Structure 1
Amino acid sequence: MSDSVSGSAGTLIEAPKSRGPVIAAVVVVLALVVGAIVFALTRGDDEGGASSGPVVKIGVVGASDPYWETFKDAAADEGITVDIIDFADYAQPNPALSEGELDLNQFQHIIYLADYNVKNKDDLVALGSTAIYPMGLYSSKVDSVEEIKDGDTVVVPDDESNQARALLILQSQGLIELEDGGSIYSTVADVDTGASKVKVKALKADLTPTSLPDVAAAFVNNDFVAKAGLKFSDAIAQDDPTDPSALPYVNIFAARAEDKDNETYLKLIEIYQDTKAVQDGVMEVSGDTASLVKIPAADLADSLAETEDATRAAGGPEKD
């Protein structure tokens, strides 16, 4: 048969070509698009269902600690996606939480949070406990406290809660004398220089390890020990995290006040406390020095309130 037919005007009109291949191509494209959409919607189920559940942002100082990945996996098994946000120092996670950039943070103890709340007229709450860590004094020059000489310099953290803790340890070791015997609110200004054996200098907590070559000794917070290439066993002095008086130094998950009953957040704390692989990871990172604790939320709230009251009574300045 001819591929053309005669028109009424005597011209040749080309017969329409088959549309079969075009239709087939369109069908294939549509199938690919639908398949891609289905894959995108269901891939979360293949990865533990995380995409369909809540996403919780948690601010920490030390996101490289391996147990955070273990924690994220355990949370994903419960349908919760955890996004760990790392901060360089302690001054950042509380403002970020207060401003809604985070849902929770986990880096501080009760005294630090109380000091922050009072100074900033904030009302962040302690939602759950993690562990109490000892504060250690380290040195690259001496092997014991007894080897520290008169007039040597010792470095302490400059944030007030950890500074007071370090000063109390120095006093217990006979290196300084604090006016009025010292308290959890003591500062470098309270050191009785005439009665003290050493000079005391305050630096940001993340910088104290770098001062070791230049001073007799320095306090290094638990978060920075391994990162500084130190071993927990190298501490020449430290406090006792199992002492009952150490409760205000328990590390916590903090949240905004309106989230104190948030079921998802409380579930995450339960996962953190009850997952053995997470707890084992915390102990490993701490060099087995941490004291793991599960303190009732009501007790944490009471301790925070009492510490805030004591901070106000001690004259802690509040920001406008």
Structure 2
Amino acid sequence: MKKLSFLLSVLLLVGILAGCGSEGASGELNDKKLKIGVTSGPHEQIVEKVAEVAAKDGLELELVVFSDYIMPNTALAEGELDVNSYQHKPFLDKFNEDHKTNLVEVGKTILNPMGIYSDKFDSFDDLPKGAKFGLPNDPTNGSRALYILEEAGYIKIKEDKREIASIYDLEENPLELEFIELDAAQIPKQLSELDAAAINTNFALEAGLSPKDDSILLETPKSPYVNFLVVREENKNDPVLEKLRKAYQSEEVKQFILEEFGGSVIPSWEE
């Protein structure tokens, strides 16, 4: 009898969880309401503004806020969300590869720009030959730092090593920069001992550095680390997504980002 009661309880719980998904969990998305996942912080703040703009066009956005980077994609893949807004394509591609999912990007949103900072020089052009350059020691952010230097013309990466470049994959390094790989969170504390260093936006802000005002080089919206709106592949052409893109990429939202974040977050749909 106890076994039967336990089985009935489990079945009831499964039924409840199955009913918790989004209205658009299968088939075409609801053209009046979307459930959108965001991470807390800037993404949450911006999508709250997007919701105000979208409401004028008859589209309701229900925000679901997450505190980690995995669950927003898991929830989307399982149909509990219609869309999410928090990630760049390299992260999305890695998630799809690791979890065998088919999530796709459908519209550019923002860039949290990585910056190059220096306590000693006001311009990257002032760096001497052999300058000590600090960069994150993880592959994603290390590559990101190198891409910034290449876009500015200071190094050249080997063509066959472009996907995830390391300091050993350089074809040209005319300044003979001495690359020093460090834990990303520790770089601001080591900046005084370096000639220049690449620092992620969150760590720069924690150290009192402004990407817009204090960096000597700043990542541009051409970066592959621009963030996107993401949906399940089956929904990528649903008409309601055009309403969402229009609201997010509106002048009203752009001005909100510029005023609220002062250059620490960059609207990335206009290059």
TM-score interval w.r.t. the shorter chain? 0.5 to 0.7
Identity of aligned residues (%): 29
Give, as a single letter, the amino acid of the residue that structure 1 aligns with 2:234.
E
In structure 2, what is the equivalent of residue 121 of structure 1? 100
Give the secondary structure class of the aligned counterpart of 2:65.
strand
* Offset, 1:236: 1.3
In structure 2, what is the equivalent of residue 229 of structure 1? 208
In structure 2, what is the equivalent of residue 156 of structure 1? 136
In structure 1, what is the equivalent of residue 198 of structure 2? 219
In structure 2, what is the equivalent of residue 304 of structure 1? none
Kept in 2: contact 1:188–1:202 (CA 8 A): no
* Offset, 1:56: 1.1
1:223-246 C-alpha deviation (Å, 9 max, x unpaired): 6654553221211123443xxxx3
TM-score by length of 2: 0.64
Q: What CA distance in whole angstroms lies between the structure 2 residues aligned with 1:212 and 1:148?
A: 21
Gaps of at least 5 residues in structure 2 are: 1-31
Give, as a single letter, the amino acid of the residue that structure 2 aligns with 1:282.
I
Equivalent position to 1:74, from 53, 74, 80: 53
In structure 2, what is the equivalent of residue 260 of structure 1? 236
Q: What CA distance in whole angstroms lies between the structure 2 residues aligned with 1:233 and 1:260?
A: 38
Q: What CA distance in whole angstroms lies between the structure 2 residues aligned with 1:59 and 1:230?
A: 25
- Matched length: 232
Pair 1:109 & 2:88 matched: yes
TM-score by length of 1: 0.56
Q: What CA distance in whole angstroms lies between the structure 1 residues aligned with 2:78 and 2:217?
A: 38
Cα 1:212–1:97 change in 2 (3 A) is same
Cα 1:175–1:262 change in 2 (3 A) is closer
Give, as a single letter, the amino acid of the residue that structure 1 aligns with 2:93.
A
Give the secondary structure class of the aligned counterpart of 1:283.
helix
* Offset, 1:253: 0.3
Cα 1:224–1:254 change in 2 (3 A) is farther
In structure 1, what is the equivalent of residue 253 of structure 2? 278
In structure 2, what is the equivalent of residue 269 of structure 1? 245
1:293-320 C-alpha deviation (Å, 9 max, x unpaired): 279xxxxxxxxxxxxxxxxxxxxxxxxx
CA RMSD of aligned residues (A): 4.0
Query: Residues 1-320 of structure 1: matches in 2 within 5 Å?
Result: 54=33, 56-60=35-39, 62-63=41-42, 66-77=45-56, 78-88=58-68, 90=69, 93-131=72-110, 134-140=113-119, 142-145=121-124, 146-147=126-127, 150=130, 152-156=132-136, 158=138, 160=140, 162-170=141-149, 178=157, 183-188=162-167, 190=169, 196-201=176-181, 203=183, 207=185, 210-215=186-191, 216=194, 217-222=196-201, 225-226=204-205, 228-231=207-210, 232-241=212-221, 246=222, 248-274=224-250, 276-284=251-259, 285=261, 287=263, 290=266, 292-293=268-269
* Offset, 1:181: 8.0
Give the secondary structure class of the aligned counterpart of 1:186.
coil
* Offset, 1:112: 3.6
Give, as a single letter, the amino acid of the residue that structure 1 aligns with 2:136.
V
Kept in 1: contact 2:83–2:230 (CA 8 A): yes
Kept in 2: contact 1:104–1:254 (CA 8 A): yes
Give, as a single letter, the amino acid of the residue that structure 2 aligns with 1:293.
W
Give the secondary structure class of the aligned counterpart of 1:230.
coil
Larger radius of gyration: 1
Give, as a single letter, the amino acid of the residue that structure 2 aligns with 1:254.
V
1:61-101 C-alpha deviation (Å, 9 max, x unpaired): 6347743332233334435133141435x565434433445
Cα 1:293–1:173 change in 2 (3 A) is closer
1:2-42 C-alpha deviation (Å, 9 max, x unpaired): xxxxxxxxxxxxxxxxxxxxxxxxxxxxxxxxxxxxxxxxx
1:260-311 C-alpha deviation (Å, 9 max, x unpaired): 234444422221123x32111223325187354279xxxxxxxxxxxxxxxx
Gaps of at least 5 residues in structure 1 are: 1-52, 296-320
* Offset, 1:186: 0.9
Q: What CA distance in whole angstroms lies between the structure 2 residues aligned with 1:132 and 1:261?
A: 24
